[in-house]
Structures are given as C-alpha cells and as structure tokens.
Structure 1
Amino acid sequence: MNTPFYIARRYLFAKKSTNAINIISTISVLGVFVGSAALFIILSVFNGFEEVVLKMYNTFTPHLVIAPAKGKTFDPNISALLQLKKDPRIFSYTEVLAENALLKYRDRQSVGLIKGVSADYLKNPNLDTITINGQFVLENKMGQHAVIGSAIQNYLRINTNDPLTPLQI
C-alpha cells in the first residue's frame, strides 16, 4: 500500500468503536472540498468577466502604446516612429496627447481625461459600435468637436443636441 494513503486513512478513520472522530473528519473533508470548489468556481467566473471587459475595451484600446520614459511628451518625428508610420503592416498609427482637465457644462463641473487625437484615429472601424448617442465626429465645417464618454455626459447632464451651449475645458 502507498505510504501517503496509509497515513491519510489511519488519521481520517478511527478503528475504535467511537464514531465521533470519523464524523468530525468527514465534516472537515467536506468543508475543505466545498471551500475549494467555491474558490475554483469564483475564479472561473472572474476569468470570464476579464474576457468580457477586455472585449469591451479592446475596441478603442491600442494594441501597442509608445510612451515617454520621463515627462509627458516626446518628439514624434524621430526616425524610428516615422518608420512605424510608413510600415504597411501597421493598420493604424495615431499620436495621442492625454491630460486630466476640468470640464464645465452650464453650472456643473467634473474632472476628466481629455485626449487630443489626429484624424487617423477614425480608421478604427469599431468606434461606431461604442457610440451610444450621436456620431463619432472630431471635426466638421462648424469646427472641432469632442466625443464625450457616457459617464461624463450623465454627470454633467450634457445635451448633445444643443449646439449653442459649449463644453468648457
């Protein structure tokens, strides 16, 4: 007989006529089993949530980000970045300038992340699928526009159909 199984059987099941040790051992084993099963199920569910969240944010999150090691900006006209821009294997290449800003609409205000993007940002075909209200337009004959996230729009109560009340940044 295998030594580990012999030791486990010896300490889990008593040979004497008292069944109290057998009952306590069985309850303990069942408790550890149920706890382990619950942890396994919860981790599997959270793994599924991770995939859902990644699919949801993967429409506008880039596959590759080049960021400065120090500071907030760097020169995008260096030779390595210009070669990336000309590479035919790259579908879309966009410079993005991001900063936290104070957003004000009528009498309400909030802090939000503002991103300045070029027209190449519109090459992403999935942008229309995440737009809930209005259109994903950065610039037209009226001037430059902002695409606002739904959380900021709800908090500031921004009316997207009102062109006369601007969003102040």
Structure 2
Amino acid sequence: MKIELRIALRYIITKRSFHFISVITILSLIGITVGVAALISVLSIFNGFQNLTKAQFIGFDPHLRIVPEKGAWIDADEKLIEKIRSMPETKQVTKTIGGRIVGINDKELQVFSLVSIPKEDLDFLEGVRKTTIFGNFSIQTSSGFPAMVMGNALADRLRVLPGDTIKLVSPKMIEQSVVGFQRQREVRAVVTGIFNSNIKDYDIMYGFASDTLGKLLLNPKIGHYSTIDIKLHKIENLEYVKSNLHTLTAGISNIKIQSWQDLNPDLFNIMRFERFATFSILSIIIVLAVFNVLVSLSMTVVEKRQDIGILKALGAGRSMIRNIFLWEGIIIGIVSTTIGTALGLFLTWGQINFKWFRIDASKFIIDAIPVAVSTSDVVIVALFSLFLTSIATIYPAFRASSTEVIEAIRTG
C-alpha cells in the first residue's frame, strides 16, 4: 500500500484532537450515501412508470406508422407494403382507414376517431382485445353486420352497452346532405365490445372496426389509406427500421414516418423534463454533502499543519502531500458512493420482489409502485458522485502541498 494512502486512511480513522472534523466527515458520508441511494431509487421509479406507460401505448399504437404529410390519405403501394413485410425485423403490417366520425345514439352525440383495419389483420389490435372488459372483441357480427369496439368513456358518453346499435355519420356525409339538400345518410353498427385502456384520450376518443365499415363511412379512393402501421419483433430495432424505411420510401412523396413516441410527444417530453428536474433537485443533497467534504478536508489541513511540515522536512515532496489529501477525499467518496449504491439497489430489489410500497389496486391499474433498474442510471449516479467528491478534494490538497516547512513546524 502506498504511503500516501496509508496516511490518508489514518487521518480518516483516527481523528482524536479535533472531533468536530470527524462529525463533519460522518455527515458527509451520510449525505452522499443518502443522495446516491435516493437518486437510484427515484430514477428506478421513473423507469418503472415509463415502462408501464410504454407497455400501455404500445398495446394500442404501432411501433412505427407511415402517415400522409399533407391531406388525409396516402397511396399505399402494395409493392412497398410487401417490401416492409419482408424486412426481418417486421412482425406485422396493416393498412388503416380512419378519421373523425360522429356517433349518435338517441339524443346522445359524440365525435370520435374511427380506426378500421382488414379483418385478416385483427391480431394487430391485440392490445384492444386484452383490455376489452364488456362484451366481445369483434369487429364484425356473425351475420356480417358492421360492428365496432369502443372505449369505455366513449361508450359512457353515448350511453351504449354491448349489443346496442348506433348511428355513424362522417363529415363527408354531412357535407353531401347539406350541399345537396338530401336526407342525412348514416351507417348503423353494432357495439360488440367496450375496452378500458386506462389511457384517457384513447378511452374517450377511439373506436375500432373492420375496413368494410371504414370504407362505407369515409369512401376513400381505391388503394388509398389513412396510415400504414408496423409492429416489430423487438422494439429495440425501432430506430434501425425507421432509418431503413426512410431509405425505402425516399422516392415517395407526401409521406412521413413516425415512431410510437412521435405519436405522443407531449407526454414523453413531460416525462423527460420531470426526470431531469428530479435528478437536479436530488443532486443538491450530494452537492451539499460534497461541500462538507471540502470543509472537512480544509479543516484537516489546518489541524495537520505540523505533520505536513515534518513530512516535508523528511523529504516528502509537494505531490506526496497533495496525494495524501486527494486520497482522503476519494476514499470518503468511494465508501459513501458504494454504500449509497448498495442501499439504492437494495430498496429497488425489495420493491420489485416484495412490493414494500403498495397502492390501491381498486383505483389504479397497478398494486404497487413500479420499479425498473437501469444499469446506465446506476453508473451515471455513481460516477457523478465520485466526480463531485474528487473536485472537492482539489483545493484542500493543493493548499496542503503549498504549506511552508518552517512555518508549519513553528506554528503547529
């Protein structure tokens, strides 16, 4: 063991003459430990909620969506769709016909977004099927009559239950009846199921049906669709596939490629801001503790002036003296960061396995606070703590190394 390290350890462990310094050192250790543990725990909770939100949205939104840059329709070339299907990362591809529709039930009226897909691509709506709480997940009745599944908030607004028939009217139908002074056209559909996604905008604004109903209501040109929706085998390949799609569609005009995050930008911007704000606020705990390290080391330099003078008289150079106090601060940082990291990981492990912090499952979709540990978060927090502690040692270390031998021995 280097002599600098041995002396640094001795200064930390055996501080007898100036007990106030020991108190500050202990407070520094506790502060850094608590700060690191809090950061790891809170960031893991953010990760848990983000993963929960991600799972909810991915159940309804595609991983990637090709939409028109202008207007309501894109010309879905079958060759393009086949090329997308042939990509090894692609799991499912479907074409949708959708738009704003007016739903009418007796005196109740509500505008919502209809999404219709081919019957053979029904598996694409697996997230809707899993969250269907009333009735059946079916977009066509056994007799072939148009059917649809809608969100529970939308069903509540229209006051419908599974088995009820509602009238559907598109903006184009309303325009034709007004301009041509004709009787209002409408399409009737049976509500076969009601889903509850626990996503407010989806539950009140979305209904799902077959493309047969979509064509009846919106009357697109042959080969024209609202979107091309894509699901991948692994969501980790999203950016790679998105880049390939840009290359694949380079010569096609009026299309835009969006990821599932692009479809919900406000939500994820808020989540990123909250995460950054929380990290910044909790980092103050570590910063204050690190300031105590600086104070503790500065006071140690004052206390050990005679020792420094004797070491210099015996031949110790400036670098050796400087390294003693650098090591002292670094040891405090390593010990407190290690304990804090272990404590943070223990708390997250306990929450994952034993659900120590529970919430009311009757009011929420989960029964405990969700937690997900990210290795990168743990590493960043640990390095951040060590970096700040190392910075705090620089001034006291250089101050100690600049101590004059004669003055130190005389005044010590």
Range of TM-score over shorter length: 0.5 to 0.7
SS in structure 1 opposite 2:28?
Answer: helix
Q: TM-score, normalised by structure 1?
A: 0.66
Deviation, 1:26, is 1.8
SS in structure 1 opposite 2:136?
Answer: coil
Q: How far apart in 2 are the matches of 1:58 and 1:139?
A: 24
Report if the CA contact (8 A) 1:14-1:21 is conserved: no
Q: How far apart in 1 are the matches of 2:7 and 2:76?
A: 69
Q: CA 1:107–1:42 in structure 2 vs 1: closer, same or farther (change >3 Å)?
A: farther
**Quick one: percent identity of the two aligned structures?**
23
Q: How does 1:42-121 map to 2 (within 5 A)?
A: 42-77=42-77, 79-84=79-84, 87=86, 92-99=92-99, 112-121=112-121
Q: How far apart in 1 are the matches of 2:3 and 2:73?
A: 65
1:84-140 deviation line (CA, Å, top 9, x unaligned): 46x497654311244455656556666544323222331348353221111222233
SS in structure 1 opposite 2:114?
Answer: strand
Which 5+ residue runs of structure 1 have no aligned equivalent?
A: none
Report if the CA contact (8 A) 1:102-1:109 is conserved: yes
Report if the CA contact (8 A) 1:13-1:25 is conserved: no
Report if the CA contact (8 A) 1:92-1:124 is conserved: yes
Counterpart in the other structure of 1:129: 130
Higher Cα radius of gyration:
2
Deviation, 1:57, is 4.1
Deviation, 1:43, is 1.6
The alignment covers a number of residue pairs equal to 166
**Higher relative contact order, chain-length normalized (CA < 8 Å, sep 6+):** 2
Counterpart in the other structure of 1:33: 33
For 2:136, the aligned partner's letter is Q
For 2:164, the aligned partner's letter is P
For 2:96, the aligned partner's letter is V
Q: How far apart in 2 are the matches of 1:19 and 1:80?
A: 76
Report if the CA contact (8 A) 2:105-2:159 is conserved: yes
SS in structure 1 opposite 2:133?
Answer: coil
Counterpart in the other structure of 2:149: 147
Report if the CA contact (8 A) 2:105-2:160 is conserved: no
Deviation, 1:72, is 4.1
Counterpart in the other structure of 2:159: 158
Report if the CA contact (8 A) 1:105-1:167 is conserved: no
* Structure with higher helix content: 2
Aligned-residue RMSD, C-alpha: 4.0
